Amino acid sequence: MRLSSLADYAVVMMSACARHCGGTRTNAGQLSEETGIPLPTVQKLVSKLSSAGLLRSVRGAGGGFKLARPAAAISVAEIVEAIEGPIAMTACVDHDRQECALEKDCAVRPHWQVINTTVRDALAGVPLEEADISTLRAVRTGAAPLPPELAQRFEQAFGLHINESLGMTETAGLSTVAPPGLTAPAGCVGWPLPHARVRIVALNSDDQATSQTLPAGEKGMVLYQGPNLFSGYLDAAETARSFTPDGWLITGDVGFIDTQGRLHLSGRAKDLIIRSGHNIDPKVIEDALGAHPAVALCAAVGAPDAYAGELPVAFATLKPGSDVTEAELLAFTAERVDEGPAKPKSITVLNTMPVTNVGKIYKPELRTLATEAVVQRLIQNAMAALQLAPAQWPQVQATGDAPVAVDARATPAAAWNTLKPLLDALPVKLVLHAP
């Protein structure tokens, strides 16, 4: 299940409606002012929530809208379903379709309905009038690095600091943690569990772990050892690739250990952008771009380049009702990225961000999009210089995380002979269909 920002806004807006108790009506403009939600978004939410029977509208003088039922009789589950549809943790259960290689042989799928029902029942047990966090004393998050801007906004809104933690399936779900009561900066995932150890080693030119242990403050590959560490994968070859000869798990995470012994994460080793031999941490770009008030989600990846190997580019989705240009986003981000080579060359605004079934941004698909843009630009420049009609230009096909395909079967051989060396120079796999 993925909760969009629209569902988040819906809960906030309905909570604001609940504060207008009794028979008092409110309007879209008033709610927009109270909540900070853009007016067009409020109007969209009112339409959806009214259709779901959660709001009641009255036209004419003295009109407006109010809750269709008392706040105590409206649950958070109903609000979420009005915006997102049926609550389900996986698409294959929600829509009766398969989205993984296991298909009908999946042994877990029959149990998802129990989980879905449990999650829905939990949300159904939270009435709107009690949709607050006043009883919370500590907040912890994991799964992915927390954007500093989001952590700051949460603390300002609720007076609670968010501590991050690191958890992996290979370590029975938890590896490092910052205990409640201690304030750790964004990106810090705390100390290793008792009897566990974390080590940082240098990366080689292929971004693989070496045996060189790095001192405090220096970024490298995170290795882990502890009593909660699993013995290995079913695939012996995968186990050999994932462990050092002396038994440390190569986590694939990039980070450093500070002078207090706390682990700080920045991202995954495979996500590093390598520009002319210079390693760029995409989190530097993502933290800067994510601070823009119009940005909902963002991610940075490397776009193939014949000279530099990779160049940093970024993708973003916008908050509902927001309107901002690429030039504005580029200028905003460049001001906040001190590292010159890390300043993104382009920022593409997407309608939806590709994510995994557990809600993490799926960067392989973004790399495909970045490669497609580079290939399209090379084709356009080469074909325009040859004054070739667009109908004879090679066609580019990019789907998911598959290699970008170039179909030049309708392209004159002479034009293809000009273009192909340019494509061959890109440090990325392409599927080429020659004339």
CA dihedral over 200, 221, 355, 344, signed as positive or negative:
positive
pLDDT of residue 359: 66
pLDDT of residue 205: 67
Range with the poorest average pLDDT among 10-24, 43-57, 223-237: 10-24
pLDDT tens digits for range 372-397: 999 999 999 999 888 888 899 999 99
pLDDT of residue 236: 85
Mean pLDDT of 22-51: 79
pLDDT of residue 358: 58
Beta-ladder partners of 280? 273
Token pair, residue 37, equals 């939600």
- Every domain of the chain with CATH number 1.10.10.10 lies at 5-130
pLDDT of residue 325: 92
pLDDT at 188 > cutoff 60:
yes
Domain 139-266 class? mainly beta
pLDDT of residue 221: 87
Architecture of domain 5-130: Orthogonal Bundle (1.10)
pLDDT at 210 > cutoff 60:
yes
pLDDT at 189 > cutoff 60:
yes
pLDDT at 1 > cutoff 60:
no
Please report which confidence band the pLDDT of residue 84 belongs to, taking 50, 70 and 90 as the band edges. Answer: confident
pLDDT of residue 183: 78
pLDDT at 153 > cutoff 80:
no
Beta-ladder partners of 141? 164
pLDDT of residue 207: 67
Mean pLDDT of 273-297: 86
pLDDT of residue 289: 93
Mean pLDDT of 347-362: 81
Mean pLDDT of 216-231: 87
pLDDT at 195 > cutoff 80:
yes
Range with the poorest average pLDDT among 60-69, 198-207, 248-257: 60-69
pLDDT of residue 73: 84
pLDDT of residue 192: 87
User: Average pLDDT, whole number, for the chain?
Assistant: 82
- Every domain of the chain with CATH number 3.30.300.30 lies at 273-353
pLDDT tens digits for range 104-119: 667 766 777 777 788 7
Please report which confidence band the pLDDT of residue 368 belongs to, taking 50, 70 and 90 as the band edges. Answer: very high
Mean pLDDT of 121-130: 76
Please report which confidence band the pLDDT of residue 120 belongs to, taking 50, 70 and 90 as the band edges. Answer: confident
pLDDT of residue 373: 94
Q: Which CATH number fits domain 273-353: 3.30.420.40, 3.30.300.30, 1.10.645.10, 3.10.20.30?
A: 3.30.300.30
